[in-house]
Amino acid sequence: MSTTLTIATPAKRHKVKYLHCGGPTFRRHAQQFFGLASGDAVCYRRDNTLEDLVISHATQCPWIHVGMIAWNADREEWEIIDTRQWRGGRRQSLIEAVRENPGHWDHFATNPGDRWPEYNRRLAVAKMDEFIDRNYGWGNLLRDALTHIPIVQAWFPVDLADGSDGGDLPFCSQAFALATRVGGGVDICPHRADRYTEPVHVVQSLFCEYRGTFVS
């Protein structure tokens, strides 16, 4: 029995098939055809649910969630490391995530052209793993959400310093920015603190480059 992962790129579609839930062959093909690598970003495009629409409208961005791609050598498959509302930090199968929501997960390659040679993918993934089984950062999410209210923007400008995490656990894009900076050694948004980094800032960063959408 084979499973197919398909990505639609701006130019064409690529398909990679692998047997028995993955293995080194699938990893090699995914790297070759998708440019997939541990430490890359995977961003979720909004659905038509009320929650998704509210987040998308507030941030003025179609992407409402960010995770990090990582290769699980023990299970021999690609996974997404992220932290979600009501669930907290976790690892989930990339294949299963795409099956549940085809056409919503976009692949953004990090460090395109190796312009940041100091970037350490292994340590970025290791830092992201620290958030697994920990609660979601509701406190920091609320603090960030308040910055979208005009009167709050006037009195409490967005913090530019990365020295504080706000005293709470991170939300999705904050976790990605923090893991990439502290673990990977690259600040993807140099003029914005991690705790105010939203999905829109991740996809607009020069450090992330859109490669395609997982459609099946």
pLDDT tens, residue order, the chain (216 aa):
345 567 776 655 555 443 334 455 556 556 655 678 999 999 998 777 666 666 666 666 788 899 999 999 998 889 999 999 889 999 999 999 999 999 899 999 999 999 999 999 999 999 999 999 999 988 887 887 777 677 766 666 666 767 655 557 899 999 999 999 999 999 999 988 898 899 999 999 999 999 888 887
Bridge-partner residues for 50, per DSSP?
A: none
pLDDT at 32: 55
Q: What is the DSSP letter of 201?
A: H
CATH tag for 36-214 (out of 3.40.50.300, 3.40.50.2300, 3.40.630.40, 3.90.1720.10): 3.90.1720.10
pLDDT at 11: 56
pLDDT at 69: 96
pLDDT at 92: 96
> Rounded to whole angstroms, how far apart are CA atoms 143 and 36?
33
> Rounded to whole angstroms, how far apart are CA atoms 87 and 175?
14
Q: Which strand (E) or helix (H) includes residue 56?
A: helix 50-59
Residue ranges covered by each domain of the chain: 36-214
> Rounded to whole angstroms, how far apart are CA atoms 148 and 60?
10
> Rounded to whole angstroms, how far apart are CA atoms 189 and 177?
8
